[in-house]
Amino acid sequence: GDSVTQMEGPVTLSEEAFLTINCTYTATGYPSLFWYVQYPGEGLQLLLKATKADDKGSNKGFEATYRKETTSFHLEKGSVQVSDSAVYFCALSKVGGGNKLTFGTGTQLKVEL
Amino acid sequence: GAVVSQHPSRVICKSGTSVKIECRSLDFQATTMFWYRQFPKQSLMLMATSNEGSKATYEQGVEKDKFLINHASLTLSTLTVTSAHPEDSSFYICSAPQAYFSQETQYFGPGTRLLVL
């Protein structure tokens, strides 16, 4: 079946450091790929998405590129802030899949001053 | 963006009792809602799809009689954990999709933490 694999956390960075959170997927067909973020005490929020190969999703300084050849959707940010501290989830859904999302385990990011 | 609420946010109950969790879309209507379960350090696992006006669709391995889902209106879905046992302790999260100009986004509730003693 479909699956998403994320790097384990927690990831601890200093403010202004470069962030990469790896995400790879296994799926038949052509899934859409998502990054969700969960801030403490809040629900998951869509951070960015990409619906086809080579698409780049971006939002709030975060970027991720849909790489079909490596089945990856790594999340990057050039300069993190303390306010980026949260749990980040990579997910996929498929056309005709009824909007069902398959999630990775989540990666906790802690940004320190 | 759209808001989805869950109630309660945290519940502790005795083994054998039933617990009801509500999921509400506050500013939009949702004919479909999704229920997930999350174990510590693990993925969100889809349990079932809640359908307004019809029966829920359960994922493989999820007991229908154990996890009762009712989608009573276009803004409310409930998950009832019947005869709860300690192994049912988990974090339960709901989501509701909202379409906007053909783009659909899933909005998630903040989750309900269930502890069964």
Residue of A nearest to B2 (CA): A45
**pLDDT score for B101:** 59
- Inter-chain CB proximity A46 and B106 less than 8 Å: yes
> What is the reported pLDDT for A97?
57
What HEC string does A23-84 produce? EEEECCCCCEEEEEEECCCCCEEEEEEECCCCCEEEECCEEEECECCCCECCEEECCCCHHH
Q: What is the pLDDT of residue B103?
A: 62
Query: Which chain B residues are within 8 Å of A45, Cβ to Cβ?
Result: 1, 108
Query: pLDDT tens for residues B65-75?
Result: 999 999 989 99
Q: What is the C-alpha to C-alpha distance for residues B30 and B50, in angstroms, rounded to an integer?
A: 10
Mutation choice for B interface testing from A59, A101, A102 by most B CBs within 10 A = A101
Q: Mean per-residue pLDDT for B19-38?
A: 93
Whether B4 and chain A come into contact, CB under 8 Å, resolves to yes
Q: Is A46 exposed, middle or buried (0-12, 13-18, 19+ CB in 10 A)?
A: middle
User: What letter represents residue B25's amino acid?
Assistant: S
A chain contacts of residue B107, beta-carbon cutoff 8 Å:
43
Residue showing tokens 């029966």:
B55
Per CB-CB distance under 8 Å, the chain A contacts of B32 are: 98-99
- What pLDDT is stored for residue B64 in this prediction? 93
| Inter-chain residue contact A99 with B41, CB threshold 8 Å | no
Q: What is the pLDDT of residue B40?
A: 75
